[in-house]
A and B are shown apart, each in its own frame.
Chain A
Amino acid sequence: MKRLALLLCVVLAACSNDNVPDVSSEKAAADALQVLQQSSSADGKALYAACAACHGAKGEGNVALSAPSLVNQQDWYLFRQLNGFRSGLRGSHPQDGYGAQMQAIAKTLPDEAAVNAVVSYIASFSAEPAAKTLDGNIKRGADYYSNLCGACHGPAAEGNDKLQAPALAGVDDWYLLKQFDHFRDGIRGADEADRYGYQMGMMGKTLPDAETAKDVIAYIQSLAD
């Protein structure tokens, strides 16, 4: 019954907006839920089997399922995000279909030990930059990046844990764009309790237009090469 409720949750959330996970994404998420519900392990590798359905066996991501690669995301950041999904700080906005999927899955992780275990396992994968999928004006993007974004995310988009600003270089460009749009539009980071998300929500409103966001992300992607 609990499982059914969770599935329903995923599907309902997913259908309520244009960020709608498609059938294969829904199936993968359902599989993940099933794996986690049947697992009582605190072993990272065993837990990751659920994640692999969408994020790939080596954390390489799957754009067809809108699942970003994980290998370029820092362990402290993954830890914070998984806990954000678990607590509902992330993935609760009605227009965040994929976030809702991820929230449902993350909530089946029983405790922080499990979160730690799965994050540690992901950290054991070898990092490889995600492939470029976007085009933009890199020079213009660099200008905006260095003036605004670099103050927290670092000169090479390498992240800054002192400011809790994650690395961006190497993360899928399509995912960065989607998340930036979510921050800008208040789909992510609109809850003041989400301290760091809210910071990015404020910054998401500082670029002049969507084209500039693409330029900036194209520049970030170029840093990963």
Chain B
Amino acid sequence: MKKIIPMGLLWLGLLLAVPSLMAAEISVKDGDSIQSAVNKANTGDVILVYPGTYKESVYVDKDGITIRGVVQDGEWPVMEGEGVRNDAILYSGNDFTVEWLTITHYKGNAIMGQAGNNFVIRYNKVIDTGVYGIFPQFGKNGLIEYNVLSGIEDAAIYVGMCDNVDVRHNEVFDNVAGIEIENTRHALVENNYAHDNTAGLLVFITPGLPIKTTYDVILRNNFVVNNNTANFGAAGSIVSKVPPGIGIVVMAADDVIVEGNIVSGNKTAGIVITDLAFITDISSDPDSEPNPDRMVFLDNLMFDNGADPVADVKALMLTQFSRRGPDILANLGSAQEPDNCIINRERYTRFGVKKWSECERKDTSDILTMRIPGGAPNEVVTTENRTKLLYQGICAGCHAYNLRMIGPPTLTVQALYRNDAQGIADYIAAPHKVRTDYPAMPPQGHLSPELRREVAEYMLGVTK
């Protein structure tokens, strides 16, 4: 009897290990389709994409898939959007990895996650892909590292409505926003090089989204340099209102630690700590507390910031008898409160930190990662929560309740389609452009008619 139990466990172990034992490698060569390989793949399979040009959008809606580019003699596999396709990679499966790809000329996103947990996005080059470069949305436990992204008209790396994400060793330049941590909890942004964007690193709350908070974020050991590029975001969009010349923005986010960064050459200010009113007056969300609370500002190297601030900041600084912007600008809204703290404040040019307290914490060496040991459990999808998940994972990527993100605000959609969920369901299957100044909506025809109808009804009922 004593021997049977270990034997049983052994067999059980073998059975459980079957998927990985059976994991296959599927090769995709120039002229083949990555999507066909994904369609054939099972959990645990690795899709090897060889050098070549792949003109397609790839949807991954199963768990445990890896798409791995094979770089040979400096030749990369290239996903080419030709300015007509919306997304290069869309994943909703859990345990998804994508690496070693060059992605260029897509209109919407290079890599977008729609509610997949335990994602790994690394070693990718993303060039001129429209709105977002790497955009995991509504996922838990992710790693984004060693990617290089440029020419994105919103955020190069946009971590939206996620939990437990590490963003490290990435280079982001010539974008409007370098790295955004938005409506996200528990994020470590470390060792990145953010230069020549309109703004380098942004940690904030966008009101009107399903997730209402941003907190527990560490910005550590990043280079945040010369972010002075004129804002080229779509006119009228929320990101188009970010003033140029800012290294780091912390807006309404709580418990943000800033440590060990080199922040220099940003012409408006090195770091701006502010409440929601900084970007737009339309900042009301009953569930989003608008103030930045408990900021911890540890040792950072800051110099040569604020040489030529934007008009609003210049006007503000004139009240301090200065024409220059500061390293630290914290006089906006409630950012001046003593729940924020700083050490060695005398090293910086600063405005608004007089009341800040001295930090008790001196470093963050005890925190190595924000990811969850052992990974996040998969979301359990039921008929009750699936429409909510769909809305949060897909729709809320572009539609905020009462302000313009990428698509029109949910409020306006509700006015246009009141009592007509079917109208929305039909439209999103094959959208046509109705607004000159908004990007065309990507088709959602891959969702079944029932799901489209359900999510449309859900959208009509959203109240904040």
Contact = CB atoms under 8 A, between A and B. Distances in A.
Contact of B416 (A140, A152, A155): A152
Interface string B210-248: 000000000000000000000000011010010000000
23 contacts: A144-B281, A144-B282, A146-B404, A147-B236, A147-B238, A147-B402, A150-B236, A150-B404, A151-B412, A151-B435, A152-B408, A152-B412, A154-B435, A155-B235, A155-B236, A155-B437, A162-B434, A163-B416, A198-B418, A199-B415, A202-B415, A203-B411, A206-B402
Given A147-B236, A154-B436, 9 more contacts: A140-B281, A143-B282, A147-B403, A148-B409, A150-B236, A152-B416, A163-B435, A198-B418, A203-B412
Interface string A198-225: 1110110010100000000000000000
A34 interface: no
Contact of B280 (A147, A151, A203, A206): A147
A202 B414 CA distance: 9
A37 interface: no
B422 interface: no
Contacts of B236: 146-147, 150, 155
A202 B418 CA distance: 10
A142 to B, nearest CB: 9
A147 B416 CA distance: 16
A74 interface: no
A150 B284 CA distance: 19
A19 interface: no
A160 interface: yes
Contacts of B280: 143, 147
- Scoring A146, A162, A199, A208 by chain B CB atoms within 10 A of each residue's CB, the highest score goes to A146
B49 to A, nearest CB: 39
Interface in B106-122: none
Contacts of B438: 151
Q: Is the interface of B mostly helix, strand, loop or mixed?
A: loop
Contacts of A154: 435-437
A147 B418 contact: no
A203 B409 CA distance: 11
B208 to A, nearest CB: 10
Interface in B267-284: 280-282, 284
A154 B236 CA distance: 10
Contacts of A198: 418
Contact of A151 (B235, B238, B241, B404): B404
Interface of B: 235-236, 238, 241, 280-282, 284, 402-404, 408-409, 411-412, 414-416, 418, 434-438
A160 B434 contact: yes
Interface string A11-22: 000000000000
Interface in A126-161: 140, 143-144, 146-148, 150-152, 154-155, 160
Contact of B418 (A146, A160, A199, A208): A199
A78 to B, nearest CB: 22
Nearest to B282: A147
A148 B402 CA distance: 7
- Scoring B411, B412, B434 by chain A CB atoms within 10 A of each residue's CB, the highest score goes to B412
Nearest to B416: A199
Contacts of B402: 147-148, 206
A150 B281 CA distance: 16
A150 B416 contact: no
Contact of B437 (A140, A144, A150, A199): A150
Contacts of B415: 199-200, 202-203
A47 B447 CA distance: 53
A167 to B, nearest CB: 13
Contacts of A147: 236, 238, 280, 282, 402-404, 409
Contacts of A202: 411, 414-415, 418
- Scoring B403, B435, B436 by chain A CB atoms within 10 A of each residue's CB, the highest score goes to B435
Contact of A143 (B281, B284, B412): B281
